[in-house]
């Protein structure tokens, strides 16, 4: 762990789920900041620093991206494909966090370069422990090139 501020980009269209994720991750204080966007277009805009996200101080490149797959406008898989096709964004770990556990999504996600694929558990304890482990693993234990 270094002293650098850790940022998570949460791409989640369901506001309830966004609250849940942020609350769980916040409880374990693994990240300094969790930024939330509601659709795929917003996610790509954020990462490219387009439009409202031009200021990298306010909207820095995240250390981890939590990506839902079912998103309005541009869906999660397409967002994933574009991230991994972009050399600058490619190193950022993308954890797919989705409600569905459909086989096609799983296959496609890894094909497009997802670093991890997680299904939101329905059970509270499972959900919270997943969030804790997720945060610690990717932000504390996992070594990053930067």
Partner 1 sequence: MTEKDTQSDRSGDESRMPPAALLYAADEILHMYDSVPFIICLLDSERRIISGNRQFREVTGWPESPVFLSDKACGILGCIHSLDDVRGCGFGAHCASCPLRRALLDTFETAARHSDIEYRTSLLLNGTRRDVVLLGSTARIETPGKQMVLLSLVDITERKLAEEALFERERLLNEIFEHGGVGVAHWDLDGRLLMLNQKACNNLGGGDPQQYLGSTMIEMFGNEAGMSYLERIKKTVESPEALEFEDRVELPIGIRWFHSVHTRVRDAEGRVTGVHIYANDITDLKQTEESLQQSKHMYDTLVSKITVGIYILRSTPEGSYTLDYVSPRMSELVNCSIESLLANPQNFFVNFHPDDRAGFVALNQEGISLLRPFDWKGRILVDGTVRWLHIESSPETQMDGDVLWHGVVADITESKQMEDALRVSENLLRDAQTVAGLGTYSLDIATGRWNSSDILDDIFGFDKKLDRSLSEWESILHPEDREMMTNYLSDEVLGKLMPFNREYRIIREVDGRTVWVHGMGRLEINEQDQPVRLIGTIQDITERKLVEGNLKKRDAEIEQFIYTVSHDLRSPLVTVKTFLGYLENDVNDGDRERISQDLQFIHGASDKMKELLDELLELSRIDRQENTPVRVSFRELLSEVCGALAGDIDQHRIDMTLPDNDLELFGDRARLCQIWQNLIENAIKYRGDDRIPSIELGFRHDTGGVTFYVKDNGIGIDPSYHTKIFGVFEKLNQKSAGVGLGLSMIQRIVEKYDGRIWVESVGQGQGSCFSFTLPRAISHDSTREQMPA
Which run of H or E residues covers position 9?
strand 7-11
Number of residues that bind partner 1 (CB under 8 A): 27
Cβ 4 to partner 1 shortest distance, Å: 30
Closer residue to partner 1 in complex, CB, 84/120? 120
Residue 51 in the binding site for partner 1 (CB under 8 A): no
Tokens encoding 71: 């998103």
Count other C-beta atoms under 10 Å from residue 117's C-beta: 19
From 45-53, 55-63, 85-93, 98-106, give the range in contact with partner 1 by CB under 8 A: 98-106
14 is a contact residue toward partner 1 (CB under 8 A): yes
Write the CA distances from 101 to 66, 68, 97, integer angstroms. 16, 12, 10
């Amino acid at each position: 762990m270094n002293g650098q501020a850790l940022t998570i980009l949460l791409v989640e269209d369901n506001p309830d789920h966004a609250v849940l994720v942020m609350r769980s991750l916040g409880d374990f204080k693994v990240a300094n900041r969790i930024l939330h966007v509601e659709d795929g277009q917003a996610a790509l805009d954020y990462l490219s620093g387009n439009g409202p996200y031009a200021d990298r101080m306010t909207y820095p490149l995240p250390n981890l991206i939590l990506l839902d797959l079912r998103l309005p406008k541009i869906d999660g898989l397409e967002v994933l494909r574009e991230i991994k096709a972009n050399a600058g964004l490619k190193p950022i770990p993308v954890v797919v966090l989705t409600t569905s556990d459909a086989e096609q999504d799983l296959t496609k996600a890894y094909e497009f370069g997802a670093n991890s694929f997680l299904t939101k558990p329905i059970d509270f304890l499972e959900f919270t422990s997943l969030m804790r482990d997720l945060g610690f693993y990717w932000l504390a234990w996992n070594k990053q090139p930067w």
